[in-house]
Amino acid sequence: MTSPAVAAQSLTPAAVQAAYDLIQPYVHRTPLLTCKTLDTIASTPQTREALVGTPFEGQIPAQPRFHLFLKCENLQRVGAFKARGAFHALLRLLEERGDEVKQRGVITHSSGNHAQALALAASTLGVPAYIVMPRISIPSKIAGTRSHGAKVIFSGSTSVEREAVVADIQAKTNAILVPPYDHVNIICGQGTTALELEAQHAEQAGSRDLDAVITPIGGGGLNSGVATWFSDKSTRVFGAEPTFEGADDCRRGLEAGKRVESVGTLTIADGLRTPVGLINWEVISNKKRVEGVFAVTEEQIKATMRLVLERMKVVVEPSAVVGLAVCLFDEDFRRRVEQEGGKEGWHVGVVFSGGNTTVEAIAKLFG
């Protein structure tokens, strides 16, 4: 078996470009939106009162200048960026193993977005699919997965519980595992988000480069894919996580110098409840590829989600807005933008990773 370090060496911008060329017929080129209202809010210093009770209490609030470019993967097929990686991984698998894949089928585990993505890819390409989902998954995500003809099997909510059920189903069906994030082909597929983002920013901003891109981190497929695309460019890449019940495993791992192997959290950002994958860790822990990971609270996630819903009129799930929440609330990140961006500020690409929520779930969050 190839080691994670060796696998990570195959992650190059050229590999992301090849993935994009392959999946283009199957995925959307999602919009890159701007919002002057959000730029203004993000560029306004927080009040000293707002910093009370936070790690930044007593500090003089930062005065950054943001120009935000919001990549709407919530408008991707199945409502999330995961369609990119799922189609790429399955297309490569069919290239390599052909009819064997269609005979054995594929299996994965996911709280919902990769579940729906692989179910769609499998249905489109004529492959049976078995999807292990936590019992507490949002009903619309379960229904979406089933709507593509996949067989759904339920499990507990942690990654360890999910993986145990996957092993049991594999023993019975001989289905081929398509991991949700810890695989080179998945990572390259997710990296196509960055390829599009950069091209769309150039269309809107001309020769001005993106200063930074920030994405959510759960298993790390999206962040490591984005970092792969920008690895030979000047654009900085950052990650964002929830703090709730230790969901910020990547940030904590970076501080400790060692990957956190398991996570047990029920953060409202349900797509970010998994530990960072082994290959993904090799990329994200490399300071030359990802310059930092920040974390935000449940209340900050909700406040940011409200802003996006009410000011942008864009439907997003909680996981999607953690990167924007960092721009709004994390004084360390905001101070860096102030110091390095000066009067011109930073052009920051923010990936809205998905929009798979329901009216009931939104009402419960804000009721």
pLDDT at 88: 98
* Mean pLDDT for the stretch of residues 119-126: 97
172 is known as an active-site residue? no
* Phi, psi angles (nearest 5°) of residue 52: -65, 135
Looking at residue 192, its amino acid is: T
The residue whose two tokens read 């196509």 is 192
How far, in whole angstroms, is CA 52 from its chain's centroid? 30
CB of 323 within 8 A of CB of 214? yes
Kindly name the residue from 43, 110, 111, 285 that is annotated as catalytic.
Answer: 111
The full set of domain ranges for the chain reads 4-79+184-365, 82-177
**CA 125, CA 128: separation in Å to the nearest integer?**
9
Tell me the pLDDT band of 28, cut-offs 50, 70 and 90.
very high
Share of the chain above pLDDT 90, in %: 89
pLDDT per residue as tens digits for the range 304-352: 999 999 999 999 999 999 999 999 999 999 999 999 999 999 999 999 9
pLDDT at 204: 97
CA-wise closest residue to 267 among 217, 314, 222, 193: 217
pLDDT per residue as tens digits for the range 198-244: 999 999 999 899 999 999 999 999 999 999 999 999 999 999 999 99
* Mean pLDDT for the stretch of residues 272-291: 96
Please give the mean pLDDT across all residues of the chain. 95
**CA 241, CA 134: separation in Å to the nearest integer?**
20
Task: Indicate the fold that domain 4-79+184-365 takes in CATH.
Answer: Rossmann fold (3.40.50)
What is the C-alpha radius of gyration for the chain, rounded to an integer number of angstroms? Answer: 19
Q: Which CATH architecture has domain 82-177?
A: 3-Layer(aba) Sandwich (3.40)
CB of 152 within 8 A of CB of 133? yes
* Mean pLDDT for the stretch of residues 99-122: 93
Residues with Cβ within 8 Å of residue 89, at least 6 apart in sequence: 121, 178, 183, 185, 186, 189
CA-wise closest residue to 174 among 238, 228, 240, 103: 103
CB of 334 within 8 A of CB of 65? no
Share of the chain above pLDDT 70, in %: 100
- In the numeric block, which tokens belong to residue 323? 């990167």
pLDDT at 257: 96
Tell me the pLDDT band of 140, cut-offs 50, 70 and 90.
confident
CB of 129 within 8 A of CB of 153? no
Kindly name the residue from 43, 71, 82, 141 that is annotated as catalytic.
Answer: 82
* Mean pLDDT for the stretch of residues 127-134: 94
pLDDT at 311: 96
Q: What angle do CA 12, 15, 21 make, to 5 degrees?
A: 145
| Same topology between domain 4-79+184-365 and domain 82-177 | yes
Residues in a beta bridge with 131 = 108, 152
Looking at residue 9, its amino acid is: Q
pLDDT at 261: 92
pLDDT at 1: 63
pLDDT at 156: 87
Q: What is the pTM of this model?
A: 0.94
* Phi, psi angles (nearest 5°) of residue 288: -75, -15
- DSSP E strands in 182-278: the ranges are 212-216, 236-242
233 is known as an active-site residue? no
Inform me whether the pLDDT recorded for 167 exceeds 90.
yes
pLDDT at 141: 86
Inform me whether the pLDDT recorded for 111 exceeds 80.
no
pLDDT per residue as tens digits for the range 5-14: 999 999 999 9
